[in-house]
Chain A
Amino acid sequence: MIDIKNVSKWYGNFKVLTDCTTNVAKGEVVVVCGPSGSGKSTLIKCVNALEPIQQGQIIVDGTTVSDPKTNLPKLRARVGMVFQHFELFPHMSITQNLAIGQIKVLGRSKDEAIERGIKLLDRVGLKAHANKFPGELSGGQQQRVAIARALSMDPICMLFDEPTSALDPEMINEVLDVMVELAQEGMTMMVVTHEMGFARKVAHRVVFMDAGQIVEDAKKDDFFGKPRSERAQQFLSKILSH
């Protein structure tokens, strides 16, 4: 579904990604972890071309992302994305947030879009807030709306860019619960996160990045059992020790 082949990326002279290769198969959940500044957020943003790459290839469902001929809006419409800072549209109500993409991009009728939006809102447990504005919701609630917004486009896969990093601790679980449910339903997911509990529960594979490189790409049990690289061992011992 998502094929990342020998991807390198520079910001000016600074190389942020070095020869990254990994993939996400259909129905697979891949967790990308690593220390801050390791390039994991940059890598996931390259998947739907929010960030351009200078070398290598990313292929999503048979479409080469970095090909200049690729219709990016069309591709992105099929790839759901959830951001660290939610990025709901603050000037629109929750319902409008859920409907806008369906109406403008998929060409659905207003009624159809709202109906589908409300259904998804119900699914993330926020139906009662349909007419509120993003600013009136808590961070956890906003992030659940953001997930519903991504799902409203009927995506073929979902990208999560540190979806819980900006949340207060007591709100993390309500977001993770939605994600776990999604994973268990078989959604193809690429998730950048520090939530190792989540990774243990639903991930099929774990990709560990450091300094712009993919250091380890292993099955979940192998990764948590005994990571091969020393760097990953250090990382794990630090974040799992308490």
Chain B
Amino acid sequence: MLSNFDFSVIPVSLPFIWEGLLYSFKLTITAMCGGIILGTLLALARLSGGPVLSRFAAAYVDTLRSIPLLMVILWFFFLIPLVTGKPMGAENSALITFTLFEAAFYSEIMRAGIQSIPKGQVNAGYAVGMTYWQTMGNVVLPQAFRNMLPVLLTQTIILFQDTSLVYAIGAKDLLKAAENTGKNYNRPVEMYVFSALIYFIICFSLSMLVKRLQKRIAIIR
């Protein structure tokens, strides 16, 4: 059975795979940066916004966390053209969807991080005359971010794996590139194996990195 495999398709596929991988990275990094920024704002709104703002943030986070990502991807992709009147393309649609979706998850992480900072630190910031935003920006968030770094990175690894779901709307990510070359050269199984291997190597090395980071942070504390 295994002798039927023909891995000579792999060198041929490399340029396509590379292009797909670049998009997967772009999607991951965009959703990570945008998600962390938006998520932090949501966490702040939830913790110290007024009743309206905090309820909005809570509803946003709880709703998105209760819907499967695949459905959000599909809905957003099909709804936006209906609202705006013109299609925006699978790649751009996925970038926005992932940022909005991941924000909900990063928000919960940042909320835990912010709550882990003792009230005394906030008071100390206020006592030297800092405003709310100065206290958050200089005192609370840097510490919260540092405490939560391993969890944020773990969430990012999950995010990277989840990017493969965009193949459902035809965005050309790593999985889609592998699928397409597999079809073109009639070697689908080989290409699925190859792409799985790439996902594994990247995620596994990142996990190792997070583990080492966790140890270092433990020492600093």
Name the residue in B118, B120, B221 with the highest tally of chain A Cβ atoms < 10 Å from its Cβ: B120
A90 touches B129 (CB 8 A): no
* Chain B residues within an 8 Å CB radius of A135: 221
Least CB distance, B218 to chain A, in whole angstroms:
13
Q: Does B123 contact A (CB under 8 A)?
A: yes
Q: Identify A76's interface contact among B121, B126, B221, CB under 8 A.
A: B126
Q: Is the CB of A85 within 8 A of B128?
A: no
Are A87 and B134 in contact, CB atoms less than 8 angstroms apart? no
Which single member of A74, A83, A101 contacts B120 (CB below 8 Å)?
A: A83
Chain B residue numbers with a CB within 8 Å of A48 are 126-127
* Chain A residues with CB below 8 A from B143, complex form: 89-91
What B residues does A91 contact at CB under 8 A?
A: 142-143, 146
Given contacts A74-B129, A77-B129, contact A50 B123 (CB under 8 A): yes
Q: Residue B128 contacts which of A45, A72, A90, A100 (CB distance < 8 angstroms)?
A: A100
A101-B123 in contact (CB<8A): no
**Given the complex, which residues of A lie within 8 Å of B134, measured CB to CB?**
73, 104-105
- Given known contacts A91-B142, A91-B143, A104-B138, is B130 in contact with A73 (CB within 8 Å)? yes
CB of B135, distance to nearest CB on chain A (Å): 9
Partner of A73, one of B120, B123, B126, B146: B126
9 tightest A-B CB contacts, nearest first: A77-B129, A101-B128, A87-B124, A105-B129, A81-B127, A87-B120, A76-B129, A73-B131, A73-B129
Chain B interfacial positions (CB closer than 8 Å to A): 118, 120-121, 123-131, 134, 138-139, 142-143, 146, 221
Binding site for B on A (CB under 8 A): 45, 48, 50, 72-74, 76-81, 83, 85, 87-91, 100-101, 104-106, 135, 149-150, 153
